[in-house]
Structure 1
Amino acid sequence: MPQLWLNNKVAVEKNELVSSFYKERNLAQELWRYKNKPYGIKRLQKGGNGRKLLIDFDTLPREIQEALGDPRKVGHILERYYRIDSDTVEYYGDYKRPHSGYLTTKEQEQYIVNASVMHAVVRLEQDRIIERRNKRGSLRGLGSTLCTDVITFNETLKVRHKVTHNIPSNDRRFKEYLKAFKMEGLYSIIKDPMGTGRQNARKVDNSVLEIIKGLFIDGYKPTATEIARNYEAFLSGYAEVYNEKTGELYNPKDFPKLSESTVKNYLAQWEHKIGTHKKRSGNRQTYIANYIPHGQMDLPKKAGSMISIDDRQPPFWYEKGKRMWFYIGMDVASGCITTFVYGKSKEGIIVDFYRQMVRFHAEYNLGLPIELECESSLNSSFKNTILREGNMFKHVRIEANNAQGKIIERRFGAIRYEVEKKAPGWIARPFAKKESNQAGPGDNMIIPYDELVAARLSEIEDWNNSPHHENNELSKWEYFLQNQHEETNHINYKAILPHIGYSTQTSCHRGYITLQGRKRAIAENGKILTGSSLIEKMKVIEGKDVEVRWLDSMNGEVLKAYAYIDDRFMCEVIEMPRFNRAKAEQTKADKAAMELQSHYAMTVIGYAQTTAKQIEKVGFNDLSPKPERKFQIPNLKRYEANEEFAEVEILDEVHPDDNEILYNQNSDAPSSWRDNFLK
């Protein structure tokens, strides 16, 4: 702000000029150029040693003088009161119309100027009221003088602040404007504060939108031009429009005439497209890609935290127009493909996939992944069985046909264009965006099925052995094995075997359950039972038919087997360890197996002996009355029991020579059952 200086001079600081009218270098050149001339810009004081450079106000060009203002001249009365408050700036910056959003920058700037002027008017009014009352003058005409001050203040605003207000200049309207400002403050300055002005002015209201959007979602997917024509036919009486849900018949007299461009513009607006396209879209993936925001997440760092699974058809033909199916599971943290199955169709592929997942993790002694993300088309049937949270996985997220919701979909793109594209017979997408991914010349090759399988499996092998995306020193496979999460799930066979295990009908006989031609022992929690635990199980299943649900391992052996009766879990079934018959070749493992088999058998024998001892011999006399013999055959000899007992004949003692012909039960028997078992 220019300041009075000695001898009625006015001084202007360098910063006031550099910031708005000169560049610092240009200002220095101007001062040097006119230093010794009788005209041009001049210094009042040199800068340096703590002093500020001051410029002579009277030597500045007229436009700069007018912009800065001469303090020797009396300015506009409102200049004394005019200032912009931070609260005013903040209020209009944050204000939001309910129906049209935040104020534009241009609106904010205008409202800030208007409000600041009105604040100045209110302050000036208070001072004038006090002055007139002190002089015992009348307050009549005060509003008109304020209106005049506001009108004339625009010139000062234009010169000094480069802005103007648009406060009403009509005396009556100004007084209404001032009254509203006093009552409502900053809010009163805003034009159409609720944002309903444009809403009320437009012809297309909700009832009109109801018709044009309703016509737009017709099954044959009409264009916006066709909708405009149909709407015109409706207004002209050549067509009827009704609400299919309520049966209401719309009256064309209640609706305005619309141009074709108006109909197109409204149907093209996002707020309407997002609803109409959802009804019209036959491709959910495309709709989601165009309208639905996708999640932005960081990938997990530990293997086993999440597995992403989906089906895919490698872009190769094994017959004309036929491609094989793969179902693939990929560990998200490592990018390693851990589970895969394939076939010529989807039939049964998902059940084989989950079986293979269990086999794989059991083979490497790993827990199942903590979380699963999958698509719903094949997995929905398992939602209440193996995919119920807590059975196979702690967390399960099933995406309803949403490619962006599964990380494996993005990995498939890399496999397709970085790996498979180099292979013979690769088929391009019909509408690939990149020229390099479009089909080349010639027809597609036919690759025999067996060769196709071998090539794709080889690519999975190469993929797992390729460098990890973050740690190039490790392959995806090495990263997977070395960075397992500590809380991966133990394999809950009891929960999953009833749903994905193979079923075999068999029976329990003499403590063994036959499976795959081998007699297997009764067990629980991975341990063959002996003692009272074994007896309790045999009381329930011995001699009964059972259903064994089992799963094979990677090498074809039985990985885990459980026995059920009427869908009730009975026991685990484990193959009894075998031992070498020849003592000379027996190892420690053989001796341990021999000991276990002995305990297993002795449990049953011991129970039989204990049970037998507990049985007391009981006599039985038949006291029922004898039937009267009314029919008899003459001369037939009958045995009639005498009521008196006959004397028992006492035989002589056995002669010692006769002992040789009697069987001695102990003469050929071993000392114990164990000796017989081990013989």
Structure 2
Amino acid sequence: MFEYFENRVLCVHGGWLVDSGIISMENYRNITRRKQVNILQKGGNGRKALIEFNTMRTDIKNKVIEIAGDPYAKVTTISFIDYIEQDHKAYEFFKNYTLDSGEALPEKNIKEYCTNANILNAINTIYQNKAMQRKALAGAKLNVWQKIAEVVSELPKHTYPHTLPTNHRRLKDKLNQYLNDGYSVLIHKNFCSKNAEKINEEAGRWIFARWCDRVQKCTSFNQLLREYNQEAQERGWKELKTEQSLINYLSPLEYLWYGYRYGELKAKEKFTYHHKTALPSMRDSLWYSDGTKLNFYYQDENGKTATMQVYEVMDAYSEVFLGYHISKTEDYQAQYHAYKMAMKTAGVKPYQISFDNQGGHKKLESGNFLNKISHLAIKTQPYNGKSKTIESAFGRFQQQYLAQYWFFTGQNITAKKVSSRQNSEMIGANIHNLPTLSEIMSIYTKCREQWNSAPHPKTGVSRLEMYYNSENPDTPQVSPLQMVDFFWIEREKQVTCTSGGITFKEKNVQFDYMVYNGDRTPDLEWLNENINKKFTIKFDPDDMSLIMLYEKTPLGLRLVKEAETKVVLHRAKQEQEEFEAGYFKTVGDKLKEIRIANRDKVEEILEQEGRRNADYGLNEPALAGIESSRAKKQKTAIGTYQKKVSEAVLLDENGDVDIYNIM
């Protein structure tokens, strides 16, 4: 009559309410139709309707207690861990939190703080309900807070990487503080504090202006350090010990000073966004996994006979093949893709996965991947096929489905049945008629579907029906956030941001990305300030349309931005779509605004320090292609000058050019 839904919500069987005479069938229909109670599971097909106990009217609850007694004492005991749930609001808070330094929290700390919030939420839920205390804390006779602290301290750190106090008094104080002040109390007060060499605002302005001086040029950081320390003695600034302090100060501002040192056109080439253009012309209790030969011959691109490997993940209960990957070798990438497909098919995190210690499992283990995607990850006993149910199942799969095809390679060399061997004569006579790789992949997919839809040998019910009609309360649903955590790959080499955005090659294929605004125009301000910076990339190998950019910090990776596949525009107007001309203009206008803003920012600093060109009696060059008024004040624009140089005629056989007559 009573049952916990998903091990956390106390429910009453709807049919029992009617059968016991507590309410009539008509009344039951009315309150359910009007949604006066919360129905967590509808009845039918062997299932019982589950009504949330706490949503029923007081008179109905009193009758239930009068007839059946205390419902909380009649259901199965559940553990503290069952109350720990993902707090998505906590994740959003910490993900978007900005430190005093202007930086975001590193990923490692976000995970720690979210885990602390999840556990504190569970503690609060249990502490507020005496019946839940009896179940989650196994009827503890100790002081409740002593028991809670004991349970929290025993949580496995690899699954729950929390930093909550183990002393029961401090833990209670932490909960009260958390309930009063919210998520922010979980962030360490001294986070990211560092004792760095300080450069005050006035000194910083002098350094920047001296480095930008185009008349009395500063040729090196060594020279800049000497001159700075002389200026520091006169102005009472703190002297600097090494050039690195100057480099650290100026590097983030390179987009501003680069043009003043090397020319604005050079800065435009380096920092201006470049469009990517095309030339003119187009998818649980125990999972087993194992890799083996895909038992089909095929004809490769050179016309030779070849075979492939397949890695399969199978549910031991139903024998359903959940996920697979076909590749030339059994490596960690094949295992990764097979597990990813299996988890997408299942939609849950398995309780246990069992695997051998061959192939790429060692690499997946070293990265803690197998422990992340399951509660338990256990190696099977080596050289013992009976310890892996998947080998038996795959043997039957080969015999019943793969062996139907004439290009079947046969099972392994220990197979004794004649039907388990290949027909060498047939294959030898039809080498050039072998299917292609894509054809055998399609045929293999069809064979898997037939296997999953066929009756299970013990129940006579189809494997898929067995799987989907079964429930496991200890395997929680996998959220989209967990899928990102489990299956996005961190690229080993960092990528440098350039004026073209983020570009890198993966398996010899080039990928181009850009950080975009909400209207799909490039975030040029971000690009302008991040050119030359190195980022760590995380991506989903099955969907390369979106990547995450991370910055390495002493405390781990910090998420910076999301980047999307770069927009491709046509060069030829004949092939341009309607939006492209306006897109070019919008981006071009924004680029001009940024160039002007950068120039004006530098000019303001130079003016304050008396280091403009005008302060030396010289003209200020115009921004090429933007400022026609300045260009008129000069005798000839740089573009015109460059054109004339390219067309100049040699005066004599020595190669001399009449430079003075070009202008």
Q: Please confirm whether the aligned pair reaches a TM-score higher than 0.5, indicating the same fold.
A: no
TM-score, scaled to structure 1: 0.34
TM-score (norm 2): 0.34
Higher relative contact order (CA 8 A, sep 6+): 2
Q: Which of the two has higher C-alpha Rg? A: 1
